[in-house]
């Protein structure tokens, strides 16, 4: 075998690219850049000038039927997920309608990315509203759009990351942990340090939800010296580690610092959730009057955004503190209010029954802080296991 033949085997010639395909991809890249440059202000203005109830009709606007406009809509969704998930869902539905209209305007791989992003955003918005099973179906559609394009591994990992987050809320921890491990590997391979850190944070939160607080602290604590965008979320998770570790003072500090950081980042609803944690720390510290004040403030903020379950959990914190303080009539009245709020919102009948039980127990002078905590834990558990039956406290 001669030397030249060896060279051919060891160093095969690169496949000659079709000049027409190269020109097509270059033109597509140029087109996408132009679209993205002009889309941001257009999308922001159109959403601002159109009543929310009419957003679904915006799919008829020709100038919004571009990849650039859809990317801008995706960013709008991202900014609203925390602040107003209903708005985020409305924009996501608009994105799906627009994406379905783009048939021949872009190469198939670009269309796959466009459609997948729209379905991913839709699924994420549903998950923020607690509609996890519906969200997972949308994420299935997003994954299916990418399945035949091996070059889109990074896009696939983003969809998988959102899925892992939803699975955590459904307490499907083993599935979520396996998916996160795969995502970490992909983001590391792509040198995507932001999403790599985000995955690490999600792994820490998974351990918190699973109740493995030492493991959570081990993975979350180093994040406090990392990206400022993730420090507040890590602090909030560490606050719950401290609560369950019996260190309410440390929990209070974590939650308050987390709330400040989240507000600086414009993540108002996450800041409110952190203040809910701070109220819980006050309860554990025996500062009952302060706890009542903090729970009421967070409850009001949740109600303003239509988050009835979160507002109800805050209300139960108030009820527990009021029972300790001897304000039994106020506790009973608030428990009755919670029954009405859950009923009007059409929430799980089991949750309504548990609240009604609590109201009757307070009226009969048989309610204790432990009874309130039992109802609180049950309603919280119903969010991930709607078949769970309420067990009367001993």
Give the total residue count for the chain. 394
Q: Domain range holding 39?
A: 28-146
What are the pLDDT digits (tens) for 281-336?
A: 999 999 999 999 999 999 999 998 888 999 999 999 999 999 999 999 999 999 99
Examine residue 390 and state whether it is found in any structural domain, yes or no.
yes
- Which of 146, 164, 196 finishes a domain? 146
What are the pLDDT digits (tens) for 193-212?
A: 999 999 999 999 999 988 99
d(Cα 76, Cα 125) in Å, to the nearest integer? 12
Examine residue 34 and state whether it is found in any structural domain, yes or no.
yes
Examine residue 136 and state whether it is found in any structural domain, yes or no.
yes
Q: What is the pTM assigned to this prediction?
A: 0.77
- Which of 111, 128, 146 finishes a domain? 146
Examine residue 111 and state whether it is found in any structural domain, yes or no.
yes
Examine residue 170 and state whether it is found in any structural domain, yes or no.
no
Q: Say whether pLDDT at 14 is over 50.
A: no
Count of domains observed in the chain: 2
Examine residue 209 and state whether it is found in any structural domain, yes or no.
no
What are the pLDDT digits (tens) for 277-289?
A: 999 999 999 999 9
Examine residue 120 and state whether it is found in any structural domain, yes or no.
yes
Q: Say whether pLDDT at 253 is over 50.
A: yes
Cα–Cα nearest to 42, from 66, 15, 8: 66
- Residue 284, token pair as written in the block: 């554990």
More confidently predicted of 62 and 31 = 62
d(Cα 233, Cα 245) in Å, to the nearest integer? 18
Examine residue 201 and state whether it is found in any structural domain, yes or no.
no
- Which of 96, 129, 146 finishes a domain? 146
């Amino acid at each position: 075998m001669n030397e030249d033949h060896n060279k051919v085997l060891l160093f095969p010639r690169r496949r000659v690219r079709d000049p027409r395909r190269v020109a097509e991809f270059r033109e597509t890249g140029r087109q996408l850049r132009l679209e993205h440059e002009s889309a941001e202000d257009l999308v922001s203005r159109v959403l601002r000038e159109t009543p929310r109830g009419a957003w679904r009709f915006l799919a008829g606007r020709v100038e919004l039927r571009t990849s650039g406009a859809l990317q801008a809509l995706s960013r709008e969704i991202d900014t609203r997920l925390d602040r107003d998930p209903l708005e985020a869902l409305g924009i996501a539905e608009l994105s799906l309608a627009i994406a379905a209209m783009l048939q021949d305007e872009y190469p198939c791989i670009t269309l796959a990315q466009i459609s997948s992003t729209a379905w991913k955003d839709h699924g994420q918005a549903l998950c923020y509203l607690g509609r996890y099973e519906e969200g997972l179906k949308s994420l299935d559609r997003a994954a299916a759009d990418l399945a035949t394009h091996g070059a889109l591994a990074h896009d696939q990992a983003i969809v998988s990351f959102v899925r892992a987050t939803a699975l955590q809320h459904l307490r499907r921890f083993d599935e979520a942990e396996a998916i996160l491990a795969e995502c970490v590997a992909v983001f590391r391979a792509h040198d995507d340090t932001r999403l790599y850190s985000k995955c690490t944070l999600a792994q820490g939160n998974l351990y918190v939800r699973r109740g493995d607080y030492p493991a959570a602290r081990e993975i979350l604590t180093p994040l406090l010296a990392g990206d400022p965008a993730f420090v507040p979320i890590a602090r909030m998770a560490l606050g719950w580690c401290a609560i369950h570790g019996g260190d309410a003072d440390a929990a209070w500090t974590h939650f308050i610092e987390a709330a400040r950081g989240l507000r600086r980042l414009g993540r108002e609803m996450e800041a409110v959730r952190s203040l809910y944690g701070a109220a819980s720390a006050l309860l554990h510290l025996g500062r009952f009057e302060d706890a009542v004040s903090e729970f009421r403030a967070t409850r009001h903020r949740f109600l303003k955004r239509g988050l009835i379950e979160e507002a109800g959990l805050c209300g139960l914190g108030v009820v527990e503190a009021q029972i300790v303080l001897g304000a039994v009539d106020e506790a009973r009245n608030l428990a009755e209010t919670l029954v009405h709020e859950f009923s009007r919102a059409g929430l799980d009948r089991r949750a309504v029954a548990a609240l009604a039980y609590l109201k009757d127990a307070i009226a009969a002078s048989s309610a204790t802080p432990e009874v309130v905590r039992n109802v609180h834990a049950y309603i919280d558990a119903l969010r991930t296991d709607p078949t769970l039956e309420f067990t009367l406290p001993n």
